[in-house]
Amino acid sequence: MAPTAEQNILRVTAMIPRGHVTTYGRVAELAGYFGAARQVGWVLRRQDPADTTIPWHRVVNAAGAISMGIGRTGSDWIQRELLLEEGIPVDQAGRLPLRTYLWTPDPLQVLQVLAGG
DNA sequence: AGACTGACGGTCT
DNA sequence: GAGACCGCCAGTC
8-state DSSP, A61:
-
Nearest-CA neighbor of A57 among A110, A3, A96, A99? A96
pLDDT digits (tens, 9 = 90+) for A71-114: 899 999 999 999 999 999 999 999 999 999 999 999 999 999 99
Where residue A76 falls (left for φ over 0; alpha for ψ -120 to 50; beta otherwise) is: alpha
pTM score, two decimals?
0.95
Interatomic separation, CA of residue A62 and C1' of nucleotide B10, rounded (Å): 10
Query: Protein A38 CA to nucleic acid B2 C1', in Å?
Result: 21
By C1' distance from the Cα of A72, the closest nucleotide is B7
